[in-house]
């Protein structure tokens, strides 16, 4: 992982990533209820207080990579060419995120399976999805005139539903296509006009 910035910033990012990886690994091995913040801190060799400097709780530590991917997705949509229509911009951002290798990897698949089993993680992910939908809609509205708030929210919600549907189909089916290809196929079936 190449992290720009000062040495201090790189060390902080490395500690955050280590805490996330430990939280995910321990939760997968022992179940989320079988893991404490102290367990996670101990696995990384830091104090409980240090853990608290990075995450509010173990759920936030487990969801860190997913939240980073969503921030990257919003940034990719913001960076699309100004004249590009909203839906193609979303689809292109999804492709770019997948090309960057952000998904899928084994850790992501394990996290999805864990999320689907644990109610407290599902609730947090649902909240994250609502925030992401709002953020994407705001970016779409800001990209140019002619797109009202309601249409932007509908477009963002549809986009996220296609991403979730693709992930579920990919996890539950024998389809051997890469997740990125499956998601892009689903996104290609949707037309706003």
3-state DSSP of 122-151: HHHHHHHHHHHHHHHHHHHHHHCCCCCHHH
What lies within 8 Å, CB to CB, of 25 at 6+ separation is 43
Q: Where does the chain hold its CATH 1.10.10.60 domain(s)?
A: 1-55
Q: Specify the pLDDT at position 115.
A: 66
- In angstroms, the CA 55 to CA 31 distance is 19
At residue 103, the pLDDT reads 47
pLDDT value at residue 174: 66
Burial of 150 (0-12, 13-18, 19+ CB in 10 A): exposed
pTM: 0.83
Render each residue's pLDDT in the chain as its tens digit; 193 residues: 445 678 888 999 999 999 999 998 899 888 899 999 999 999 999 999 999 999 999 999 999 988 998 999 999 999 999 889 999 999 999 999 888 654 455 566 766 676 667 888 888 888 999 999 999 999 999 987 788 999 999 999 999 999 989 888 887 776 677 888 889 999 999 988 6
Return the structure tokens found at 105. Answer: 């990897």
Per CATH, the number for 1-55 is: 1.10.10.60
Q: Could you tell me which of 32, 117, 103 has the C-alpha nearest to residue 72?
A: 103
- Pick the closest to residue 31 from 55, 62, 67, 60 (CA basis): 62
- pLDDT score of 154: 95
Question: CATH 1.10.357.10: does it fit domain 58-189?
Answer: yes
Rounded CA-CA distance 51/92 in Å is 36
Kindly list the distances between the CA atom of residue 137 and the CA atoms of 20, 48, 173, in Å, as whole numbers in the listed order: 28, 37, 31
Residue 111 confidence (pLDDT): 66
């Amino acid at each position: 992982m190449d992290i720009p910035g000062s040495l201090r910033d790189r060390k902080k990012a490395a500690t955050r990533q280590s805490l996330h990886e430990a939280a995910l690994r321990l939760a997968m091995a022992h179940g989320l209820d079988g893991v404490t913040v102290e367990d996670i801190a101990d696995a990384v060799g830091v104090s409980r207080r240090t853990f608290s400097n990075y995450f509010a709780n173990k759920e936030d530590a487990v969801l860190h990579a997913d939240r980073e991917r969503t921030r990257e997705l919003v940034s990719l949509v913001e960076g699309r060419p100004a004249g590009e229509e909203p839906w193609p911009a979303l689809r292109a951002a999804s492709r770019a995120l997948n090309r960057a290798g952000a998904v899928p990897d084994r850790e992501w698949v394990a996290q999805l399976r864990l999320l689907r089993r644990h109610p407290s993680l599902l609730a947090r992910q649902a909240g994250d999805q609502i925030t992401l939908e709002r953020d994407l809609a705001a970016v779409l509205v800001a990209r140019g005139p002619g797109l009202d708030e309601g249409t932007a929210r509908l477009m963002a919600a549809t986009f996220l539903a296609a991403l979730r549907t693709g992930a579920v189909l990919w996890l539950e089916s024998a389809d051997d296509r890469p997740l990125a290809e499956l998601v892009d196929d689903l996104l290609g079936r949707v037309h706003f006009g």
